[in-house]
C-alpha cells in the first residue's frame, strides 16, 4: 500500500479498524524532526509571554503553515501520527512522548517524559497528562493481550507523589486479570525508585464492527 493512500476498508468498516497499517515511512524521513519542532513549539508557547508584535508575527506564520498543511490532510487511518512505531508515542504529538522497551504477555514497559508543555503547576506534570500516558500504555497492554483493539471503560489514577517534568520515568502496565472481553489492567509510574502514580483500570475488547 502506498504511504499516502487511505487504508483499505475491511469487514470492520464502520467500526474501529483493528488492522491499522504500521509504517515507518509515512510522513517521510523528516517526520520525526517535524514532530519534534511541533513539540518544541508547544513547550515555548506554554511559557512564552510574547510582545504584541511577536504575537502578530507568530499568527501570520502559523496561518501560513496551517494553510500549507491543509493541502496534506489525510484520514485518521492513514496519518503517520499514531502509526509511526519508530517514533516516540508512535509519532502522536498529543501523547506524552514514550519509548517502549518491552511489550508482551508480561505487559508493557516504557520510558516516558513529560515536557515543559505538560506542566500542571509548580514545575510538575499535569495529572491529566499522567492519565493520558496510562490510558495509552494500559490500552496497549490490553491490545497486546487480546491481539486486538480495546477501549477504556474506567481508569482510576492514584497520584502518590509529584511527577517531574523533563525526566525519564518508567511506566509499566499489565493485564492483571482477564474475564472474557474484560481486561483489568494495573500500572505504575516511577521516577527511579519513587512511585509517582499507579492505576486500576478496565479495558474492554471491542467486538468486530464495534466503534
Ligand atoms: C497502528 C499502530 C498500532 C500499534 C499498536 C497498537 C496498540 C494500540 C494502543 C492504543 C491504545 C489506545 C488506548 C486508548 C483507549 C481509549 O482511550 S478509548 C476512549 C475512552 N473510552 C471510551 O470512549 C469508551 C466509551 N464506552 C464504550 O464505548 C462502551 O461502554 C465500552 C467500554 C466499549 C463497553 O461497551 P460494550 O462493548 O457494549 O460492553 P458492555 O456489554 O457494556 O460491558 C461488557 C462488560 O464490561 C462491564 N463494564 C463496562 N463498562 C464498565 C465500567 N465502566 N465499569 C465496570 N464494568 C464495566 C460490563 O458490566 C460487562 O460486564 P459483564 O456483564 O460481561 O460481566
Predicted-complex ipTM score: 0.95
Judge whether 187 and 163 are in contact, CB under 8 Å: no
Measure 201 CA to ligand 1 centroid, in angstroms: 10
Domain range 95-205, CATH class = alpha beta
Q: Does the beta carbon of 182 sit less than 6 angstroms from any atom of ligand 1?
A: yes
Question: pLDDT tens, 115-149?
Answer: 999 999 999 999 999 999 999 999 999 999 999 99
Question: pLDDT tens, 154-193?
Answer: 999 999 999 999 999 999 999 999 999 999 999 999 999 9
State pTM to two decimals.
Answer: 0.93
Q: Where are the domains of the chain?
A: 1-91, 95-205
Kindly give the number of the ligand 1 atom that is closest to the alpha carbon of 143.
Answer: 7
Q: What's the burial of 18, exposed, middle or buried (CB within 10 Å: 0-12/13-18/19+)?
A: middle
Amino acid at each position: 500500500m502506498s504511504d499516502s493512500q487511505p487504508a483499505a476498508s475491511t469487514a470492520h468498516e464502520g467500526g474501529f479498524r483493528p488492522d491499522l497499517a504500521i509504517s515507518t515511512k509515512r510522513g517521510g524521513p523528516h517526520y520525526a524532526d517535524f514532530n519534534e519542532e511541533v513539540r518544541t513549539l508547544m513547550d515555548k508557547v506554554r511559557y512564552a509571554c510574547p510582545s504584541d508584535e511577536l504575537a502578530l508575527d507568530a499568527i501570520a506564520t502559523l496561518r501560513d503553515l496551517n494553510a500549507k498543511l491543509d493541502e496534506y490532510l489525510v484520514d485518521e487511518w492513514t496519518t503517520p501520527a499514531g502509526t509511526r512505531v519508530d517514533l516516540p508515542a508512535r509519532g502522536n504529538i498529543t501523547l506524552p512522548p514514550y519509548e517502549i522497551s518491552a511489550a508482551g504477555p508480561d505487559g508493557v514497559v516504557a520510558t516516558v517524559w513529560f515536557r515543559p508543555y505538560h506542566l500542571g503547576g509548580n514545575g510538575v506534570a499535569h495529572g491529566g497528562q499522567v492519565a493520558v500516558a496510562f490510558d495509552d500504555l494500559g490500552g496497549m497492554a490490553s491490545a497486546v493481550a487480546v491481539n486486538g483493539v480495546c477501549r477504556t471503560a474506567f481508569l482510576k489514577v492514584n497520584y502518590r507523589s509529584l511527577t517531574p517534568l523533563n525526566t525519564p520515568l518508567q511506566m509499566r502496565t499489565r493485564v492483571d486479570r482477564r474475564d472474557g472481553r474484560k481486561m483489568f489492567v494495573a500500572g505504575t509510574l516511577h521516577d527511579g525508585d519513587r512511585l509517582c502514580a499507579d492505576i486500576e483500570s478496565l479495558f474492554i475488547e471491542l467486538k468486530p464492527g464495534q466503534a
